[in-house]
């Protein structure tokens, strides 16, 4: 066992990934010191987490939340310094005393702090899809310059990472790899008749059959946009061409992804569907630690089945592949539009099957170019959101 204590900043601490990270960390207090927590607006939960790990810093979204949190922490006798806003997230992600950053903020809001961690040369446990989807070239460039290390937290990419040869250097051909296979549960509507998808509710879309996740990613699972975003991530993480990345539906969610080699071998990572497994793997890498996850019993599972995704049922998956092939800012446009469409669906506005329609129309209308800076990408993101909101108003019925 390593004698080194890793010093963590957990961005998105109050979300589902952040809470699972805290669970693993609390099982191994001798190995991890939490220096900073970012919690957005869930002040009460953040106060509870501060009581558990006594961080030096805690970040919330606004001054109102900061005032409430300071009061809670004073009452608990904690001297944690409360910081406010997006700039504070960048600050804690690049603190000199922090060596490891859990990047678990959902959505485009996680982009700047993740880039800050990369510039500072941190070990980044990457759970924020959008950092690679929106700004893959920028993020990988910063990592190359600073020497930062990215360890994927998405169960699929973590499974691929575990199934890669030691010392993989980003070239599938040199490693003897023919393709990467991302598995997908198929979500809650895998077998629902297509005509019934018109009337599904946010509650139905968020009732994932296997995983406990936040509402936005649950909807992305139902549309399979989450898998499309993971295809884009896999391209940047592993140097894979779109044609080298396959998606298969695996309803049991036991095989989390696979790597196929040119000699015919397929190496897979299996486990019960629990995000604490990839979190524990990345936290301790290259060692292994107990994660609190129930051991996999294959006899209890009984069978493992696979099927190809239906393009009529899951058009968002096709749109993601198309955006990746187009390159430039297309993936940022895809991501921003999807976020707006999903948000409106969750609010009871846009019908479920119109999510893909809005994304396709914005990709058709908005110009795709190159973005060499974060400010340019943010401008593209904002333009796509504005156009999406305009189109959403027309497509709600």
| Distance (Å, whole) CA 93 – CA 84 | 14
Q: Which fold, 6-152?
A: Rossmann fold (3.40.50)
- 188: pLDDT strictly greater than 80: yes
In angstroms, the Cα distances linking 83 to 42, 60, 118, 326 are 14, 7, 21, 40
- 2: pLDDT strictly greater than 80: no
Mind listing the pLDDT tens digit for each residue in 128-147? 888 899 999 999 999 999 99
| Distance (Å, whole) CA 238 – CA 38 | 29
Let me know: does 103 contact 124? Beta carbons within 8 Å.
yes
Mind listing the pLDDT tens digit for each residue in 270-317? 999 999 999 999 999 999 999 999 999 999 999 999 999 999 999 999
Locate CATH 3.40.50.720 in the chain: 6-152
* CATH 1.10.1740.10 given to domain 327-397: yes
Mind listing the pLDDT tens digit for each residue in 314-360? 999 999 999 999 999 999 999 999 999 999 999 999 999 999 999 99
| Torsion, Cα of 338, 155, 165, 284 (10° steps) | 120
Question: In the prediction, which pLDDT does 1 show?
Answer: 42
């Amino acid at each position: 066992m390593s004698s080194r204590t890793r010093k963590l900043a957990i961005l998105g601490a109050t979300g589902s990934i952040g809470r699972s990270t805290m669970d693993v960390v609390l099982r191994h207090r001798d190995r991890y010191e939490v220096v900073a927590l970012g919690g957005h607006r869930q002040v009460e939960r953040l106060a509870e987490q501060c009581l558990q790990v006594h961080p030096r810093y805690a970040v919330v979204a606004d001054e109102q939340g900061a005032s409430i949190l300071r009061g809670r922490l004073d009452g608990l006798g904690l001297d944690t310094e409360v910081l406010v806003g997006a700039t504070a997230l960048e600050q804690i992600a690049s603190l000199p005393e922090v060596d490891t950053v859990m990047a678990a903020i959902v959505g485009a809001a996680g982009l700047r702090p993740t880039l800050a961690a990369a510039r500072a040369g941190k070990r980044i446990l990457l759970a924020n899809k959008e950092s690679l989807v929106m700004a893959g070239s920028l993020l990988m460039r910063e990592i190359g310059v600073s020497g930062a290390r990215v360890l994927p937290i998405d169960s699929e990419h973590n499974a691929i990472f575990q199934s890669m040869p030691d010392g993989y250097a980003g070239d599938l051909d040199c490693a003897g790899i023919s393709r990467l296979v991302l598995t997908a549960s198929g979500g809650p509507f895998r077998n629902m008749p297509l005509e019934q998808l018109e009337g599904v509710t946010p509650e139905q879309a968020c009732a994932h059959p296997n995983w406990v996740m936040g509402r936005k990613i649950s909807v992305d699972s139902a549309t399979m946009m989450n898998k499309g975003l993971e295809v884009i991530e896999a391209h940047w993480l592993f140097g894979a061409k779109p044609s080298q990345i396959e998606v298969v539906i695996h309803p049991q969610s036991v095989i989390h992804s696979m790597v196929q080699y040119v000699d015919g071998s397929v190496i897979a990572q299996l486990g019960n569907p629990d995000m604490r497994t990839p979190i524990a793997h990345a936290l301790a890498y290259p060692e292994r630690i107990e994660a609190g996850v129930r051991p996999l019993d294959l006899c209890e599972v009984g069978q493992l089945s696979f099927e190809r995704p239906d393009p009529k049922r899951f058009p968002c998956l096709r749109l993601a592949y198309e955006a990746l092939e187009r390159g430039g800012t297309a993936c940022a446009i895809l991501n921003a539009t999807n976020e707006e469409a999903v948000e409106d669906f969750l609010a009871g506005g846009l019908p479920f099957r119109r999510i893909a329609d809005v994304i396709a129309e914005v990709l058709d209308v908005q110009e795709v170019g190159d973005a060499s800076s974060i400010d340019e990408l943010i401008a593209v993101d904002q333009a796509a959101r504005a156009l999406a909101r305009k189109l959403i108003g027309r497509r709600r019925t």
